[in-house]
Amino acid sequence: MPVRVDELNKLRKKQLELCNNLGKEPKILKDSPLPLSEEIEEFKKHIEKLEVEKFNRLEKFISTKEELLDIIKELNIQPSSNFEKKSSCVP
């Protein structure tokens, strides 16, 4: 398999994984004829943006969770349900 086709398949797989995690529709990149190198570069930039968005969402989630745990601690609340225990990391 040519290097370009192999690279394209890896990029598509990476994009699909990111889109599934982010709840977004994947960008379509045609198979035939093979995309130009400029199109592949644009596709890579698109994937980089998805990676940044995933990172930002994770950071926001962690920050929000920490704030919530601080509030729980401040209010001296003990989690009662299994969900509350799992989400607050309190046994």
**Are 14 and 47 spatial neighbours (Cβ–Cβ below 8 Å)?**
yes
Please tell me the predicted confidence (pLDDT) of residue 72. Answer: 86
Cβ-Cβ contacts under 8 Å for 19 (sequence gap 6 or more)? 25, 26, 50
Q: What is the pLDDT of residues 46-57, one digit of tens each?
A: 999 999 999 999
Please tell me the predicted confidence (pLDDT) of residue 1. Answer: 52
State pTM to two decimals. 0.80
Please tell me the predicted confidence (pLDDT) of residue 56. Answer: 98
Q: Where are the domains of the chain?
A: 3-88
Please tell me the predicted confidence (pLDDT) of residue 18. Answer: 97
Q: List the alpha helices (DSSP H) in 23-36.
A: none
Rounded Cα gap, residues 9 and 58, in angstroms: 26
Counting as low any pLDDT under 70, the low residues of the chain are 1-3, 89-91
Q: Which of 59, 63, 29 has its CA nearest to residue 46?
A: 29
